[in-house]
Chain A
Amino acid sequence: MSALGRWFDERLDWDDLIAPLRHKTVPTHRLSYWYFLGGITLFLFVIQVLTGILLLLYYRPGANEAFESVQYIMTRVRFGWLIRSIHSWSANLMIFTAFAHMFSVLFLKAYRKPRELTWISGVFLLFLVMGFGFSGYLLPWNTLAFFATKVGTAIAGQVPVIGKPLMIFLRGGEEVTGATLTRFFGFHVAVLPGIATLLLLLHVLLVQRLGMSIPPKLEVQWTANPSAKREMKFFPNFLLRELMAWYVALGVLGALAALFPWNLGVKADPFGPAPAGIKPEWYFLFMFQTLKLIPAKVWFIDGEVLGVLAFGLVGLLWLLLPFFESDQPSHTKGWITGLGVFALAYMAGMSVYGLLAK
């Protein structure tokens, strides 16, 4: 141990602090690489926080300044283009890896008892990440973002009873204006990060406390034959591999930012016509397309209201999924896996349909 390490150890009892990490192990099997997704999502979140703080140095929230300030960042600030492009690309990659992480947890059945709270906190984190995406999308105040926010908040307004007040709360009035931008800025840089940080700490703490889940089939085999069990130390073996994954993610982010800098678009004109074929970001596309396909009236219920209610119900059931699962690894429910496959196929299919639809 170095002199500096000894200095800290004498004061913080460092060895004792990281002892649980030294004892922690990670199961080794052919599906182990799925364990990296949560860490990559966390890495991208950290990138978001760091690049977000740098963007805050120049960004100005306000209908008259937002677009110009982002344009300034992209053209005049040294490496501003890189920071903004990484922030935008990283946001999209983070949402993608968060979805991938969720489905890997679902298919590996890692949500089973005693990890129900890890699943619930994770699903809430996914909702928060989508909230980050929705609120951040408006901040450059360009035409696409303006009209997508108009459509998005109007959909929120379809929620029965609380819809209208919710929409007015989100918009800061009846229409999407500079007040909406200021509000979304507040959500994006203060409210959501605060909640997300707390929830993230809880999620990571639960993962550390409960350890890595073993796929049910493997768990049955390893229980029957303990000598077949394969593990690696979390620290440093797994963490070093995770570090490699982070470096790969960093390389991908850098390449995307350098080769495809994030477009700025055209400044929003609230009095201008909506661009033809306006669509939300890809991660909302499956919901948007579903709402478009629902007839205006289903029996006596308004189609959009029905769609919003249905998505709310599906979200709630998704959150409670672990409680439908058996806690015995040998009796896991096949229909939950089937449901996961269906959900994934539905989301992918509807997203592609939404992308191609005019």
Chain B
Amino acid sequence: MAFLRNKLRPFSAAHVALAGFVVLAACLGCGQSYGQTTNSCLDCHSALPDPLGVSQEKFSQDIHAQKDLTCASCHGGDPTSDDPDKAMSRKAGWKGKIDRKQIPQLCGSCHSDPAYIRQFNPSLRTDQLGQYRTSVHGKRFAAGDTKVAVCTDCHSVHDLRAPSDPRSTVNPVNVANTCARCHADADYMKGYSIPTDQFAKYSTSVHHQALAVRGDLSAPTCSTCHGNHGAAPPGVDKVENVCSNCHAFQAQMYEKSSHKKAFEAASLPGCVVCHSNHGIRHPTDAMLGTGPDAVCMRCHSPGDACDQARAGLLSSLGRLDEAVKSADQVLRVAESSGMEVSEARLGQDQARDSLTKARVTIHSFRTDLVDQDIQAGLKIAANNLQVGKEAMVERNHRRVGLGISIIAIGIVLAGLRLYIKKIES
């Protein structure tokens, strides 16, 4: 039976009648507890199967229930009445199942009312419905497409949790999965002419790694770039504005660079040209190279001025990287030999910062600016390397000193032994 397999969709008159019978039976079976509750809806609906079933446990997790809202707040009716007929009477304002077409408006009736929302959470925004109407979802919905997402598709229903709750479908860690429920479903997305591999690509990205693996909640998920209630593709001319929200320094460099104008002239989407979008990998110096990860040579020709600049930049970065690693290695050996080189070890962070800064400055595409950072880093790394080398020389001196001392002690011991022998003979 479809009913038992939770496939009660669409509703038929027979199903509703059957559900009504079950509700009645459940209510009659309540015995002593019947008539003692103020939210009588759950008395019966907790005994029903999906989609009519809502358990007390499930509903108690809902943020609305926690704010003392009841079923009637959305569905109308009289939850104080023990009589199902009165509780679910049109006279008492009962709306029954909320029509999908009414959902944004129904949610917005409270969530767009600042005065009402303020009493629960003064910092909660009230522009969600307005934003939704500007989104691709909202526009298509207004045009009659009910397949697109409405509030409950993302936020769930009857167990809706605050976004800060790690179990919430809109918690930053879960957002990508929530979006992917539709956007990664090729069958469902048929007819929309957009790819469905975004989630697969995002799952391999440095952003996903930061958010889902490292647990860095500041790392971007779908809504960070696309918006949430006003979700829309950023568009070719807005991509760098999206990325610059986090990568501010890179954006500043790029804004003044020659590439900005060139990309705009060619209608190329800024950052995405080199870094891609959903599947952004951790950038490496190899992007400046000529190997499989290289990006410059996709547009530039071998041997031209830009190719030479690229080679210079790559070589500079490699030189500083090597200098930092060399100093690290010497300092590590010195430290493991018991030498006190903690200041130089700390100083290595500055050299690494210079390398990071140089990699950021690459976005200016100016060799002179990058070279400034490189030179600063090389100087620090050279100083630290010197400290490490001096520590190793000092360590060797100590060992020589130890050897001399041990020989001296040995001579004294031999002398004492001979003296003891002499006086005892």
- Contact partner of A237 (CB less than 8 A), chosen from B409, B417, B420, is B420
8 Å CB interface, B408-425 against A? 409-410, 412-413, 416-417, 419-420, 423-424
8 Å CB interface, B192-222 against A? none
* Residues B405 and A251 in contact, CB atoms below 8 Å apart: yes
* Residues A248 and B398 in contact, CB atoms below 8 Å apart: no
A74 within 8 A of B: yes
A241 within 8 A of B: yes
A250–B406 Cα distance when bound, in Å, is: 9
* Residues B406 and A263 in contact, CB atoms below 8 Å apart: no
Encode A232-266 as 1/0 by CB contact (under 8 A) with B.
00001100110110011011001100111111100
A236–B423 Cα distance when bound, in Å, is: 9
Q: A71-B342, A244-B413 are in contact. Are A258 and B420 (CB under 8 A)?
A: no
* Residues A254 and B417 in contact, CB atoms below 8 Å apart: no
A255–B406 Cα distance when bound, in Å, is: 8
Interface-central residue, A82, A251, A264, by most chain B CB under 10 Å:
A251
* Residues A248 and B401 in contact, CB atoms below 8 Å apart: no
A177–B342 Cα distance when bound, in Å, is: 24
Residues of A within 8 Å of B398, CB to CB, are 82, 258
Interface-central residue, A71, A260, A261, by most chain B CB under 10 Å:
A261
B18 within 8 A of A: no
8 Å CB interface, B330-351 against A? 338-340, 342-343
A254–B412 Cα distance when bound, in Å, is: 15
B402 within 8 A of A: yes
A16–B424 Cα distance when bound, in Å, is: 23
A134 within 8 A of B: no
For chain A, the count of residues having a C-beta within 8 Å of the partner chain is 25
B399 within 8 A of A: yes
Residues of B within 8 Å of A223, CB to CB, are none
* Residues B416 and A247 in contact, CB atoms below 8 Å apart: yes
* Residues A243 and B416 in contact, CB atoms below 8 Å apart: yes
Interface-central residue, B340, B398, B412, B419, by most chain A CB under 10 Å:
B340
Residues of A within 8 Å of B413, CB to CB, are 244, 247-248
Residues of B within 8 Å of A81, CB to CB, are 340
A110–B21 Cα distance when bound, in Å, is: 96
* Residues A254 and B402 in contact, CB atoms below 8 Å apart: yes
* Residues B338 and A244 in contact, CB atoms below 8 Å apart: no
A221 within 8 A of B: no
Q: How far is the CB of B267 from chain A (nearest CB, A)?
A: 52
Residues of B within 8 Å of A197, CB to CB, are none
Q: How far is the CB of A9 from chain B (nearest CB, A)?
A: 21
* Residues A75 and B399 in contact, CB atoms below 8 Å apart: no
* Residues B399 and A259 in contact, CB atoms below 8 Å apart: yes
* Residues B424 and A237 in contact, CB atoms below 8 Å apart: yes
A355–B406 Cα distance when bound, in Å, is: 32
* Residues A247 and B399 in contact, CB atoms below 8 Å apart: no
* Residues A264 and B420 in contact, CB atoms below 8 Å apart: no
Interface-central residue, A75, A236, A237, A250, by most chain B CB under 10 Å:
A75
* Residues A244 and B342 in contact, CB atoms below 8 Å apart: no
A262–B337 Cα distance when bound, in Å, is: 10
Q: A74-B340, A260-B338 are in contact. Are A240 and B401 (CB under 8 A)?
A: no
* Residues B340 and A264 in contact, CB atoms below 8 Å apart: yes
* Residues A254 and B406 in contact, CB atoms below 8 Å apart: yes
Q: How far is the CB of A45 from chain B (nearest CB, A)?
A: 20
Name the residue of chain B whose CB is nearest to the CB of A254: B405
Q: How far is the CB of B408 from chain A (nearest CB, A)?
A: 9
8 Å CB interface, B313-358 against A? 338-340, 342-343
Encode A257-287 as 1/0 by CB contact (under 8 A) with B.
0111111100000000000000000000000
8 Å CB interface, A290-339 against B? none
* Residues B342 and A240 in contact, CB atoms below 8 Å apart: no
A264–B398 Cα distance when bound, in Å, is: 18
Q: How far is the CB of A184 from chain B (nearest CB, A)?
A: 23
Residues of B within 8 Å of A263, CB to CB, are 338
Name the residue of chain B whose CB is nearest to the CB of A249: B409
A128–B423 Cα distance when bound, in Å, is: 39
* Residues A240 and B419 in contact, CB atoms below 8 Å apart: yes
Name the residue of chain A whose CB is nearest to the CB of B340: A74
Q: A244-B413, A247-B412, A247-B416 are in contact. Are A259 and B423 (CB under 8 A)?
A: no
Residues of B within 8 Å of A255, CB to CB, are 402, 406
Q: How far is the CB of B156 from chain A (nearest CB, A)?
A: 36
Q: How far is the CB of B3 from chain A (nearest CB, A)?
A: 54
* Residues A71 and B412 in contact, CB atoms below 8 Å apart: no
Residues of A within 8 Å of B343, CB to CB, are 75
- Can you spell out 8 A-B residue pairs with CB atoms less than 8 angstroms apart? A82-B398, A244-B416, A248-B413, A251-B406, A258-B401, A258-B402, A259-B399, A263-B338
Given contacts A75-B340, A236-B423, 7 further A-B contacts (CB under 8 A): A241-B420, A244-B416, A247-B412, A247-B416, A255-B406, A261-B340, A263-B338
Sorted nearest first, the 6 A-B pairs with minimum C-beta distance are A261-B338, A258-B402, A74-B340, A251-B409, A258-B398, A75-B340
Name B's A-contacting residues (CB within 8 A). Answer: 338-340, 342-343, 398-399, 401-402, 405-406, 409-410, 412-413, 416-417, 419-420, 423-424
